[in-house]
């Protein structure tokens, strides 16, 4: 018998800095920080805890700990990158699934993701320019062959995607901004005359394509959907059976400096954050260095985007490559632009490993300089779609469109341990764990509050001290859990 996790009310929830740490100019008020109570929020396997307040701690004097005493050491004076925000992708698939749900489920989903108090407070969303694999069909916004773009219109998006995005913006209190990404130019602009199976942008179409992207951004903004950033191309080194387009590092560099960058600037869109790469961590340094070592291209580039799918080779996530980019180019921003668990199976929605994959990636991405973190689809149906090429995947929330209910995986709660408590403008501060099984990161918000995230990937109860400059608060990490300690 299949077991589904059904939604309960979301109301139950209550400029990049260099990667090298810098000490705050003003002396950090450590005594004031450690005089505060610490509220602990927990999500744990084999419990009912889901971002649940589970304890209130107090600091006491604690001298040098012995190596036998597990600790998470936090230094609020050592600051790193600034957080831009958290979010997920508002794709065609998410919008179409949303439209099939009853009003109560729709409202619950919007609250769960975008309400900063009752939900987990997303402030960023990613959406596709033209179709992607998570669309029900392949489409563009112009008639085939129209290089003048005279036929450009958003009729396709008006049916599902635009209404969904507008509802998400409203649910966020108008604080949601969009990252927009193309999977492929129209077929007539490519050398394989297809939106699928890779191919390359024709040299003669480069200016037409840059104009197309500008036209899309302006059209979305005219409809009340603010665009925060754009990527040059989704996964530019992957020939996919769905929408895809190949750029070598040199081709992306030259397209940015000769076409896309100047076209954005000429059209008054130079304030949009241009993000290069938008593919896996494996090649991220090679791509970043090729583009950013060219001053004519680098001046247009705000950041480097990356995904987590380098694990397709059977290896682990390659966080060291992020650290290298952050160290080599400290004035640029690292942005996680996509990740999900592939090969969907509804019988696996209760697997605790789904959330732990998110927690592991997020902690290590942040600790290696990442300044924004955007999940893939915010919502998919009970089949892991819709998807026009059968590339079905997991999302943090699935819509049971037959039963009219929402199915939450624990990935939603794991993401929420970051996005609910770490706000735009927060700066990462030093957090160091003395135990491998206690992975941690910490941020100081603009209001002075501190959020320390601690994830336990073991099957053991692990008592530990949250230790700040000779003061410690004793607590315990439950097996296979994630906790956020808020000061």
Q: How many CA atoms lie within 13 A of 440 on its CB side?
A: 28
Neighbouring CB atoms inside 10 A of 369's CB total 25
Write phi, then psi, for 285 (nearest 5 degrees).
Answer: -70, -40
Pair 381, 392: CB distance under 8 Å? no
Pair 100, 379: CB distance under 8 Å? no
Residue 390 CA, chain-centre distance (Å), reads: 23
Tokens found for residue 423: 């706000």
Q: Does the active-site annotation cover 235? A: yes
Query: Angle 319-328/353-367 helices, nearest 10 degrees?
Result: 20
**Closest of 213, 127, 107, 233 to residue 170, by C-alpha:** 107
Query: Residue 447: which region, alpha, beta or left (left: phi > 0; alpha: psi -120 to 50)?
Result: alpha
Residue 211 CA, chain-centre distance (Å), reads: 27
Q: Determine which one of 235, 251, 252, 356 is catalytic.
A: 235
Q: Determine which one of 96, 251, 310, 338 is catalytic.
A: 338
Cis omega (within 30 of 0) for bond into 386: yes
Q: Does the active-site annotation cover 96? A: no
Tokens found for residue 444: 């100081």
Farthest-apart Cα atoms in the chain, separation: 72
Q: Hey, which residues are catalytic here?
A: 235, 338
């Amino acid at each position: 018998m299949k077991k589904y996790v059904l939604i309960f009310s979301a109301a139950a929830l209550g400029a990049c800095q260099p990667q090298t740490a810098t000490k705050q100019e003003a002396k950090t008020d450590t005594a004031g920080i450690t005089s505060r109570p610490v509220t602990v929020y927990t999500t744990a396997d084999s419990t009912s805890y889901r971002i649940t307040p589970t304890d209130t701690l107090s600091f006491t004097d604690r001298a040098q700990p012995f190596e036998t005493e597990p600790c998470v050491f936090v230094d609020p004076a050592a600051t790193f990158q600034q957080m831009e925000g958290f979010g997920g992708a508002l794709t065609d698939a998410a919008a179409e699934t949303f439209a099939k749900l009853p009003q109560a489920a729709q409202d619950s989903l919007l609250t769960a993701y975008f309400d900063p108090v009752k939900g987990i407070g997303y402030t960023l969303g990613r959406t596709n320019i033209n179709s992607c694999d998570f669309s029900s069909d392949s489409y563009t916004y112009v008639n085939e062959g129209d290089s003048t773009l005279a036929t450009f219109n958003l009729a396709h998006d008006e049916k599902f995607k635009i209404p969904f995005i507008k509802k998400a913006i409203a649910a966020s209190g108008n604080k949601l901004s969009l990252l927009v990404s193309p999977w492929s130019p129209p077929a007539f602009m490519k050398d394989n005359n297809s939106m699928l199976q890779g191919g390359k942008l024709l040299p003669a179409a480069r200016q037409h394509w840059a104009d197309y992207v500008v036209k899309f951004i302006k059209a979305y903004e005219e409809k009340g959907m603010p665009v925060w950033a754009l990527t040059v191309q989704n996964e530019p080194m992957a020939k996919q059976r769905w929408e895809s387009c190949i750029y070598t590092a040199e081709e992306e560099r030259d397209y940015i400096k000769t076409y896309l960058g100047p076209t954005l600037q000429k059209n008054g869109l130079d304030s949009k954050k241009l993000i290069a790469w938008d593919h896996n961590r494996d090649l991220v340094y090679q791509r970043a260095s090729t583009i950013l070592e060219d001053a004519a291209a680098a001046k247009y580039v705000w950041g480097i985007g990356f995904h987590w799918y380098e694990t397709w080779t059977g290896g682990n996530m390659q966080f060291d490559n992020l650290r290298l980019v952050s160290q080599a180019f400290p004035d640029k921003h690292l942005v996680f632009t996509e990740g999900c668990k592939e090969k969907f199976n509804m019988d696996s929605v209760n697997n605790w490993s789904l959330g732990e994959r998110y927690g592991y990636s997020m902690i290590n991405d942040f600790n290696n300089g990442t300044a924004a973190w955007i999940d893939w689809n915010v919502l998919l149906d009970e089949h892991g779609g819709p998807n026009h090429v059968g590339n079905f995947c997991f999302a943090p929330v699935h819509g049971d469109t037959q039963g009219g209910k929402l199915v939450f995986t624990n990935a939603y709660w794991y993401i929420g341990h970051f996005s609910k408590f770490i706000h735009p403008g927060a700066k990462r501060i030093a957090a160091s764990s003395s135990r491998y099984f206690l992975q941690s990161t910490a941020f100081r918000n603009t209001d002075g509050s501190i959020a320390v995230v601690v994830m336990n990937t073991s099957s053991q109860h692990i008592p530990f001290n949250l230790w700040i400059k000779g003061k410690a608060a004793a607590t315990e990490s439950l097996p296979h859990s994630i906790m956020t300690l808020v000061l």
